[in-house]
Structures are given as C-alpha cells and as structure tokens.
Amino acid sequence: MRVNSSSNAARQRGAVRRLVHHGCHYTQSRCFLQYHREIPSSGDSLKVVSNVAAAAAPRSCREKPVDKSGDSRYHFVMHNDQVDILTLTHARSATSRLGLVHRVLSVRHLTAAAFVVRIGRNDVPATAGQCATLGIHGAGINREYSMYAGEHDDYFEFLVRVVEGGQVSTELQRCQPGDQVDFDGPYGQFIIEQPRDPARKYLFIATGVGIAPYRSYIRSYPQLDYTIVHGVRYLRECYERDEYPPARYRTCVTREDGGDFRGRVSDYLRAQPPAPGTICYLCGNNAMIAETYDVLRAHGVPGDQLFAEIFF
C-alpha cells in the first residue's frame, strides 16, 4: 500500500463503514497514523487513533498535531461514504534540529508583505513542490516553506507571505544577503509523479503564496500542460505573474476588479469545472481547500486526481 505523507497521496478511500483502519507511514519521520470511522446514529464521526488526538466532526477534521512539537498536520475530508486523508504534511520538527546552515543570496521584496528569499543550494537534492523548514540561524524556530525555484536551479527560493506578529516570516523578511538560515529538508510529497507524460492536463489552484510549488513545477518541467487558478485579495498579490503565459494564468480577485474573475476560486470553479481527466492540485489556506475540494468532487473529479497542500 502506498500511503504517503505530505498532502496528496495520503488518501485512503473506499467504503469505510464500521471499522476501517489504515496505517500511514511517513518515511522521513516516525509518524504512524491509524484511524477508523464509525457511523453512529447521530451522524458521521471520525476517530483517529494512534498518536493522533481523537476528532469528530460531521464532515471534516483538520489539523490534529501528532505531538506537542506541533510538527504534523492532518486534514481529513469526509465525502459521503469515503474518508480522504487529504493532507499529511509533516515537517520533521518545528524547531531547529538536524538542519543545515545555508546562506541568503538575495531577497526580492514583491509587496510590503511578500518576498522571495533565495538561499544557497549547497548541493541538496530536491523534487519540485517539496518543502523545507527555514528559520533564522540559531533562533531555534523554523517553519515550512514550499519550493519556489525549479528542482534544477542551483539555489533554493521560497515565496513568503509575512504574517503579522509571526515569529519566522517577519524575521525572514529582514534577512540580508550573507545572513545564515537554518534549513531542514526537503520533504513532502506534493509533487508531480509523472511530469513528462504529455497526455496529462493539470489544474493548479492556489490562494496567495500557495502558488509557490506550482512555479517550482513549471520551472522544472517546462512541457507541462497546465492552467493556474490563483485566488488573491488584491491584484498586487499575483506574484511575478509575468512568468506565466496569460492563457495559462487565471486570477480570482476578491477585493477589487481587474482580475479574470471577481470572487473566490471555489466560485470560479463552480462555473468553470475542469475538463474530465484533469489532475487538480490545491494549495493554500485550509478554508479554500476544503471548499474547492467539495466543488471539484461535486463536478465528478475523482479523489485520486486531487492533491492538496495546506499552508495554514
């Protein structure tokens, strides 16, 4: 059984009636997850056992840390009789542990609240779309960031949105070339498994900086047949949009006019469903992913063509 971790492939589906349990083994960590679902008369519930706190909700249970280090995130979506483990992103640690030290090469400030930090690659291998944890060297606190550069670039880049009061994003924003950052990774399975298959069409759905892994794919696999649907509040958050051919890049802008669509990505996709067979990736905030996931499922997109990475 191939059960993956970070996001996508960790979907266990099928008729999960009385008691079903699955093991999810995450190779870069000790995470082992089992769960079962019961259907009591009062409605659906999902009980997660083994390391993971029990959770119950009518339709979805999200973000249950495995342990107090807070380094595991789970996102379960119940879809009728199926349980999808939509996301299992697992950084090895939220604090600096085994990390390497990389030098900051440059910082590109895109808006007042978003920037791209480029760091030395140091010969670390990575697959497009994976993430790593980053933090100021020695500060002892790291966060996950998705690759923004291509897998063959001789540097790593990360597109970071500054979270007000955030411990790591605000510090990274102040970085200067030559500064040192702690780096751990890469890890995760939010990747494209057969990027060179010309028959595959991809729909990359993002909110905000959730576009980062898609840029990583596109730089790594120039032949990809893709469309991006990018949800932002303001047009200025269409980060480095010139890198995407206009015909492949659709903006859904919630707070001003001027995009391709005024509103949320979920509403856009309600009206513009993907062509059958399209492989759909979702990346960004939890609420968008949960809502869009349902929209795509309602349009008949099968669970094994849906991949997701939740940032927060």
Ligand X SMILES: Cc1cc2nc3c(=O)[nH]c(=O)nc-3n(C[C@H](O)[C@H](O)[C@H](O)COP(=O)(O)OP(=O)(O)OC[C@H]3O[C@@H](n4cnc5c(N)ncnc54)[C@H](O)[C@@H]3O)c2cc1C
Q: How far is the CB of 161 from ligand X (least distance, A)?
A: 4
Give the start-end residues of each E strand in the chain: 24-25, 32-38, 45-49, 60-62, 72-79, 82-90, 100-111, 114-120, 131-136, 143-146, 155-161, 180-187, 201-207, 225-232, 249-253, 261-262, 279-284, 306-310
Q: How far is the CB of 192 from ligand X (least distance, A)?
A: 16
For residues 172 and 179, give the distance between their C-alpha atoms in angstroms, rounded to a whole number: 10
For residues 211 and 205, give the distance between their C-alpha atoms in angstroms, rounded to a whole number: 8
- The residues in 222-281 that bind ligand X, with binding defined as CB under 6 A, are none
Among 163, 240, 243, 276, binds ligand X (CB under 6 A): 163
85 beta partners? 76
Binding window for ligand X (CB under 6 A); candidates: 23-31, 42-50, 176-184, 304-312:
304-312
Q: Does 65 bind ligand X (CB under 6 A)?
A: no
Among 35, 158, 226, 268, binds ligand X (CB under 6 A): 158
Q: Does 286 bind ligand X (CB under 6 A)?
A: no
* DSSP three-state, residue 74: strand
Dig out the tokens for 155 from the structure: 């540097």
Among 212, 238, 280, 288, binds ligand X (CB under 6 A): 212
Binding window for ligand X (CB under 6 A); candidates: 40-48, 157-165, 247-255, 296-304:
157-165
Q: Does 296 bind ligand X (CB under 6 A)?
A: no
Among 4, 5, 130, 146, binds ligand X (CB under 6 A): 146
Dig out the tokens for 160 from the structure: 């970071």
Among 37, 92, 102, 143, binds ligand X (CB under 6 A): 143
68: exposed, middle or buried (C-beta count within 10 Å: 0-12, 13-18, 19+)? exposed
Q: Does 167 bind ligand X (CB under 6 A)?
A: yes
Q: How far is the CB of 168 from ligand X (least distance, A)?
A: 3
Count interface residues toward ligand X (CB under 6 A).
Answer: 23
Q: Does 10 bind ligand X (CB under 6 A)?
A: no
Q: Does 159 bind ligand X (CB under 6 A)?
A: yes
138: exposed, middle or buried (C-beta count within 10 Å: 0-12, 13-18, 19+)? exposed
Q: Does 312 bind ligand X (CB under 6 A)?
A: yes
- The residues in 73-92 that bind ligand X, with binding defined as CB under 6 A, are 73, 89
**86, 75 in Cβ contact below 8 A?**
yes
For residues 293 and 84, give the distance between their C-alpha atoms in angstroms, rounded to a whole number: 11
Q: How far is the CB of 20 from ligand X (least distance, A)?
A: 27
Binding window for ligand X (CB under 6 A); candidates: 54-62, 96-104, 160-168, 269-277:
160-168
DSSP code of residue 260: S
**265, 281 in Cβ contact below 8 A?**
no
**64, 55 in Cβ contact below 8 A?**
yes
Q: Does 71 bind ligand X (CB under 6 A)?
A: no
> Measured at CB, which residue is nearest to ligand X?
166
Q: Does 311 bind ligand X (CB under 6 A)?
A: yes
Per the listing, tokens 């995130």 go with 73
Among 71, 144, 179, 184, binds ligand X (CB under 6 A): 144
Nearer to ligand X, 144 or 182 (CB): 144
Residues that bind ligand X (CB under 6 A): 73, 89, 131, 143-146, 158-161, 163, 165-170, 209, 212, 309, 311-312
